[in-house]
A and B are shown apart, each in its own frame.
Chain A
Amino acid sequence: GQNIDQPTEMTATEGAIVQINCTYQTSGFNGLFWYQQHAGEAPTFLSYNVLDGLEEKGRFSSFLSRSKGYSYLLLKELQMKDSASYLCAANNAGNMLTFGGGTRLMVKP
């Protein structure tokens, strides 16, 4: 079976840094993904990790530890527009993408 866990909600201040954690258990593993979803909109792709380590993309970075079944998304210099849900998803060897419940991030002034 597959299990993806991430916090339900987080709050942070504009300009700060926030880390959203995700733990996963999958039968077979082919990569870990992060998506952003604003309320009422479709998810949009943020990042992809298949090897251990940190992937940096501007203000957003994503980290993966395959041995620990753990990933995090790091958002720096938070802006109000970063208020959204962040979805962690794992791809298994059977070509299925399993999503976690999402973390709703609220950025306050």
Chain B
Amino acid sequence: EAQVTQNPRYLITVTGKKLTVTCSQNMNHEYMSWYRQDPGLGLRQIYYSMNVEVTDKGDVPEGYKVSRKEKRNFPLILESPSPNQTSLYFCASSPPGDRALNEAFFGQGTRLTVV
């Protein structure tokens, strides 16, 4: 089954403790991205990657890191999480071509709470 898988689905952590949210897709998509979703602010793009070893900042990259060492995986790293990073996070991937960015497939989301 074609899917985007995020782990964990739920995470409560403490300020300053490094964490990684994994994202994996099995559709051989080149484009992958991370979003955070907050009430009243909608989905905001954190980072995106057009292909392996190519990553770019989105609208709200501060406090986050990503890597794209292989096509299928695009982990999101919070080196020193802070309470303002409490949010719902979505990973997404898209196929190549002209419609590359529109038919994004989203993972099920990771609800992160930083206390």
Contact = CB atoms under 8 A, between A and B. Distances in A.
B106 A42 contact: yes
Given A41-B108, A42-B109, A101-B40, A91 B101 contact: yes
A105 to B, nearest CB: 15
B46 to A, nearest CB: 11
Interface in A37-62: 40-45, 48
A13 to B, nearest CB: 26
Interface string B13-45: 000000000000000000101010000111111
Interface residues of A, number: 24
Given A42-B90, A42-B109, A48-B99, A97 B44 contact: no
A25 interface: no
Contacts of A41: 108-109
Contacts of B44: 99
Given A31-B102, A48-B103, A101-B41, A95 B48 contact: yes
Interface of B: 31, 33, 35, 40-45, 48, 50, 56, 58-59, 90, 99-109
Given A45-B104, A48-B99, 14 more contacts: A4-B42, A8-B40, A30-B101, A31-B101, A31-B102, A42-B90, A42-B108, A45-B105, A48-B102, A95-B56, A96-B45, A97-B45, A98-B45, A98-B59
